[in-house]
A and B are shown apart, each in its own frame.
Chain A
Amino acid sequence: MTRKDEALLSVRHLVKHFPIRAGIFKRIVAWVKAVDGVDFDIYEGETLGLVGESGCGKTTIGMTLLGLYPPTGGSVYFNGEDITPYLLPRWKVRSYLKQTYVNHFKKLSGDEIEKLPQEVRRYAEVYFNDHKGNTESFVRHFTENRKEKQKAIRREMQIVFQDPYSSLNPRMRIGNIIGEAVDVHGLASSSAERRRMVAEILQKVGLYPEYAMRYPHEFSGGQRQRIGIARALILNPKLVVADEAVSALDVSIRSQILNLMEDLQREFQLTYLFISHDLSVIKHISDRVAVMYLGKIVEVAPKKKLFDRPLHPYTVSLMSAIPIPDPDYKKRRVILKGDVPSPINPPSGCRFHPRCPIAREVCSKEEPPLKEVEEDRKVACFFAGEIS
């Protein structure tokens, strides 16, 4: 894995809240804080594993990055470019830009702007140099050709879904399911070329080109997941979000698909955001791992460091909870008490404190920040490393 200094995808303070509506006027009565301030980077060519239990917000992150849900707050940078304006609905773009950049820049002196993080500083230059400090012109920079730019971003970021049964339209032939994206992006000049592209990608994922004429119900779960992967890869994207892509498959099939995804990553220089609840799968496929709990990232580290010595008490208990297929394997179990709390009303302070075996008073009052404890490794815990 080659790692460049600049991240392919950077996520800053990403927030996604879903409203709960009730009553005859459908008033908003509460918010589900699915993702509540998340930061991470994915470097080119690597696989970032995102692991957590159901309801922790890992799927929401994937969907938000692809623009399938508009973000409530925060920024997403792809290839160094702020793509948040294209993920947001049009009417929110202006206030987003003002809040994130313009208001900020106006207050800063030249020296202070120099010290801004690179991704933000870049827009300071665009604002002052290209647009001469004219806000309207700066906003237009993002709203002009919006549709084309959105399309270009979507071509670079694709997703493979969990359920290979519900994610393929049962009334479409495989060739059309995979070829649809080619049509949308106008990548084939003739139907013969489109056929050739579909046939080629089918072979790449280990299926026969003849399958293009068949319907989804004619395939097994593993084959359908291959079709889902082919659909994502035909556009030659840079980033693929795999959302529980192997969770619905039997173990013997699961390892086939994991091997296939690794082969394809090498061949097409793909970057993966691999979302899963299964730590053993995450350990196998990831280069770095981010652990989520209740809308927050609690620990992010290179795989080896994380699995050799987990530092956050939640990571520790998650690892010790996995049943190991060896009856003689002796391990120290940290069995957590209680259930995951509701993301509507998360606990105060550290969100893990009601279930944490080492929680102290400060944990219920103050929220621990996600901070670097070693090189390349961040943990959000006041007492990181106390149990491991």
Chain B
Amino acid sequence: MSALSEKKPILQVKDLRTYFYTEDGIVKAVDGVNFEVYEGETLGIVGESGCGKSVTSLSILRLLDEKGKIESGQIVYKGKNLLELSEDEMRKIRGNEIAMIFQEPMTALNPVYTIGDQIMEAIMLHQKLPKDEARKLSIEMLRKVGIPEPEKRVDEYPHELSGGMRQRAMIAMSLSCNPSILIADEPTTALDVTIQAQILELMKQLQNEYGMSIIMITHDLGVIAEVSDRVLVMYAGKAMEYAGVRELFKNPKHPYTWGLMNSIPRLDVEYERLNAIPGTVPDALHFPEGCRFHTRCELATDKCRVEEPPLEEVAPGHFSACWHVDKLEAAIAVQREGESA
């Protein structure tokens, strides 16, 4: 990961806390998360539903609804703290410098406007281009993302496109202003695997071409392994582990990450029985005291129940929030020995 340190971070998130004030109480959806996004690289954020990965991305763009509030922290983009900008200044960043694509392109696209209208809107707003040039650029973008017959498709409505084509149109729209960061929130979850492979390939190819950074949010460790350079593992609003992708998959240093990797049946390994993580994800209104994972962790001790472990560097460039990294390493060594035997 030496190449990583030479690059400079384009986005730094420091101690971000986003809480939701609901009728039932305070939901600490994101509770002190730190990470960096480097130029031209992909940060993967992985976790299960309710872990705060989507709220993190919405916080970066300040797109929270009225119940959600960013309590504290900094989001530094090119030297500016986004949380201190006025709404007008923020609008110039959204879609223009930091763009986002969503899981379900059918709900993210407006059904009563054509694909072309929606792409042109962003181009005309941010780049101040006249309409005919904006249209030309839209067609160009649609061609770039591999939509056949873009001259015809530009005048079609979202419902006339298939799921994969809609996601391509969304990508065309988000890249039309040449953003420096693209946030992709589960962009392939609603798609079939063969279409998912197409979209991931397209995103990698466009990243090479445009040199943008990507924040890839997903629950799928397979997707993470395929596209990420760096990975942030989240659980119950907290960062559990943060490392380069190779390092993370080779030497996981958090029991949650290890548990997740174990519970996916791999195609190239035979299992008698799957290793499941016991229990369920805790309720967001009542996260456990101490380490939030201790209720499901096999290595948990009394210390874990009381004291929250900080996210600390346990190996160069590898951060983990666990009191028992050494115990985990021993357990992994035992399991791997068993597997190879």
Query: Do A54 and B274 have beta carbons less than 8 Å apart?
Result: no
- Given contact pairs A220-B281, A253-B280, A279 touches B193 in the complex (Cβ within 8 A): yes
Considering the chains assembled together, what is the distance between the CA atoms of A322 and B201 in angstroms? 12
Whether, in the assembled complex, B92 has its beta carbon less than 8 Å from a beta carbon of chain A, the answer is no
Whether, in the assembled complex, A339 has its beta carbon less than 8 Å from a beta carbon of chain B, the answer is yes
Which residues of chain B have C-beta atoms less than 8 A from A284's C-beta?
265, 271, 274
Query: Do B225 and A327 have beta carbons less than 8 Å apart?
Result: yes
Considering the chains assembled together, what is the distance between the CA atoms of A256 and B228 in angstroms? 28
Query: Do A250 and B264 have beta carbons less than 8 Å apart?
Result: no
B-contact bits for A46-74, CB 8 A (1 contact / 0 none): 00000001100000000000000000000
Whether, in the assembled complex, B63 has its beta carbon less than 8 Å from a beta carbon of chain A, the answer is no
Stretch at the interface among B18-26, B71-79, B96-104, B215-223: B215-223
A-contact bits for B153-192, CB 8 A (1 contact / 0 none): 0000000001011000000000000000000000000001
Considering the chains assembled together, what is the distance between the CA atoms of A53 and B196 in angstroms? 11
| Chain A, Cβ-Cβ closest to B146 | A337
Which residues of chain A have C-beta atoms less than 8 A from B164's C-beta?
339
- Given contact pairs A250-B49, A252-B276, A259-B274, A339 touches B221 in the complex (Cβ within 8 A): no
Query: Do A220 and B280 have beta carbons less than 8 Å apart?
Result: yes
Query: Do B263 and A251 have beta carbons less than 8 Å apart?
Result: yes
What is the distance, in angstroms, from A273's C-beta to the closest C-beta of chain B? 19
| Chain A, Cβ-Cβ closest to B196 | A321
Query: Do A323 and B259 have beta carbons less than 8 Å apart?
Result: no
Query: Do A251 and B48 have beta carbons less than 8 Å apart?
Result: yes
Q: Interface size bucket, A side?
A: 35 or more
Considering the chains assembled together, what is the distance between the CA atoms of A280 and B193 in angstroms? 12
Interface residues of A in 333-347 (CB under 8 A from B): 333, 335-336, 339-340
Interface residues of B in 242-268 (CB under 8 A from A): 245-246, 249, 259-261, 263-268
Query: Do B265 and A323 have beta carbons less than 8 Å apart?
Result: no
Which residues of chain A have C-beta atoms less than 8 A from B165's C-beta?
339
Which residues of chain A have C-beta atoms less than 8 A from B277's C-beta?
252, 255-256
Query: Do B196 and A280 have beta carbons less than 8 Å apart?
Result: no
Which residues of chain B have C-beta atoms less than 8 A from A317's C-beta?
194
| Chain A, Cβ-Cβ closest to B245 | A327
Query: Do A53 and B266 have beta carbons less than 8 Å apart?
Result: no
| Chain B, Cβ-Cβ closest to A336 | B194
Which residues of chain A have C-beta atoms less than 8 A from B195's C-beta?
53, 339
| Chain A, Cβ-Cβ closest to B222 | A323
| Chain B, Cβ-Cβ closest to A220 | B280
- Given contact pairs A252-B277, A318-B193, A280 touches B48 in the complex (Cβ within 8 A): no
Query: Do B193 and A322 have beta carbons less than 8 Å apart?
Result: yes
Considering the chains assembled together, what is the distance between the CA atoms of A133 and B332 in angstroms? 71
Name the contact of A325 in the complex, choosing from B196, B264, B274, B278 (C-beta under 8 A): B264
| Chain B, Cβ-Cβ closest to A263 | B273
Of the candidates B194, B195, B196, the one having the most CB atoms from chain A within 10 angstroms of its own CB is: B194
Which residues of chain B have C-beta atoms less than 8 A from A279's C-beta?
193, 267
Which residues of chain B have C-beta atoms less than 8 A from A318's C-beta?
193-194
- Given contact pairs A220-B280, A220-B281, A251-B48, A326 touches B267 in the complex (Cβ within 8 A): no
- Given contact pairs A250-B281, A255-B275, A339-B165, A325 touches B266 in the complex (Cβ within 8 A): yes
Considering the chains assembled together, what is the distance between the CA atoms of A262 and B271 in angstroms? 12
Whether, in the assembled complex, B129 has its beta carbon less than 8 Å from a beta carbon of chain A, the answer is no
Name the contact of B219 in the complex, choosing from A251, A283, A339, A340 (C-beta under 8 A): A251
What is the distance, in angstroms, from A287's C-beta to the closest C-beta of chain B? 13
Query: Do B197 and A324 have beta carbons less than 8 Å apart?
Result: no
Considering the chains assembled together, what is the distance between the CA atoms of A252 and B240 in angstroms? 15
Interface residue count for B (Cβ, 8 Å)?
45
Whether, in the assembled complex, A91 has its beta carbon less than 8 Å from a beta carbon of chain B, the answer is no
Whether, in the assembled complex, B212 has its beta carbon less than 8 Å from a beta carbon of chain A, the answer is no
Which residues of chain B have C-beta atoms less than 8 A from A322's C-beta?
193, 222, 267
Whether, in the assembled complex, A307 has its beta carbon less than 8 Å from a beta carbon of chain B, the answer is yes
Considering the chains assembled together, what is the distance between the CA atoms of A319 and B275 in angstroms? 23
Query: Do B261 and A325 have beta carbons less than 8 Å apart?
Result: yes
What is the distance, in angstroms, from B201's C-beta to the closest C-beta of chain A? 6
| Chain A, Cβ-Cβ closest to B195 | A339
Considering the chains assembled together, what is the distance between the CA atoms of A162 and B224 in angstroms? 25
Whether, in the assembled complex, A281 has its beta carbon less than 8 Å from a beta carbon of chain B, the answer is yes
Considering the chains assembled together, what is the distance between the CA atoms of A329 and B263 in angstroms? 18
Whether, in the assembled complex, B198 has its beta carbon less than 8 Å from a beta carbon of chain A, the answer is yes
Query: Do B198 and A326 have beta carbons less than 8 Å apart?
Result: no
Whether, in the assembled complex, A136 has its beta carbon less than 8 Å from a beta carbon of chain B, the answer is no
Query: Do A319 and B267 have beta carbons less than 8 Å apart?
Result: yes
Query: Do A256 and B192 have beta carbons less than 8 Å apart?
Result: no
Which residues of chain A have C-beta atoms less than 8 A from B225's C-beta?
323-327, 329
Query: Do B193 and A325 have beta carbons less than 8 Å apart?
Result: no
Query: Do B223 and A323 have beta carbons less than 8 Å apart?
Result: yes
Name the contact of B259 in the complex, choosing from A223, A252, A280, A281 (C-beta under 8 A): A252
Query: Do B281 and A53 have beta carbons less than 8 Å apart?
Result: no
Whether, in the assembled complex, B206 has its beta carbon less than 8 Å from a beta carbon of chain A, the answer is no
Considering the chains assembled together, what is the distance between the CA atoms of A338 and B220 in angstroms? 23
Of the candidates A251, A277, A283, A324, the one having the most CB atoms from chain B within 10 angstroms of its own CB is: A251
Query: Do B267 and A335 have beta carbons less than 8 Å apart?
Result: no
Query: Do B268 and A324 have beta carbons less than 8 Å apart?
Result: yes
Name the contact of B267 in the complex, choosing from A250, A259, A307 (C-beta under 8 A): A307
Query: Do A340 and B220 have beta carbons less than 8 Å apart?
Result: no
What is the distance, in angstroms, from A352's C-beta to the closest C-beta of chain B? 11
Query: Do B192 and A54 have beta carbons less than 8 Å apart?
Result: yes
Whether, in the assembled complex, B325 has its beta carbon less than 8 Å from a beta carbon of chain A, the answer is no
What is the distance, in angstroms, from B286's C-beta to the closest C-beta of chain A? 13
Whether, in the assembled complex, A328 has its beta carbon less than 8 Å from a beta carbon of chain B, the answer is yes
- Given contact pairs A323-B226, A336-B194, A339-B165, A251 touches B200 in the complex (Cβ within 8 A): no
Beyond the given A252-B277, A255-B264, could you list 12 further A-B residue pairs with CB under 8 A, ordered by the A residue number? Answer: A255-B274, A255-B277, A280-B265, A322-B267, A323-B222, A324-B225, A324-B267, A324-B268, A327-B249, A329-B268, A336-B194, A336-B197
25 residue pairs bridging A and B, Cβ less than 8 Å apart: A53-B194, A250-B48, A252-B259, A252-B263, A252-B276, A252-B296, A255-B264, A255-B274, A284-B265, A284-B271, A284-B274, A318-B193, A319-B267, A320-B197, A321-B196, A324-B268, A325-B221, A325-B249, A325-B264, A327-B245, A327-B249, A328-B246, A328-B249, A333-B197, A335-B198
Of all A-B residue pairs in the complex, the 3 with the closest CB atoms, nearest first, are: A323-B222, A284-B265, A53-B192
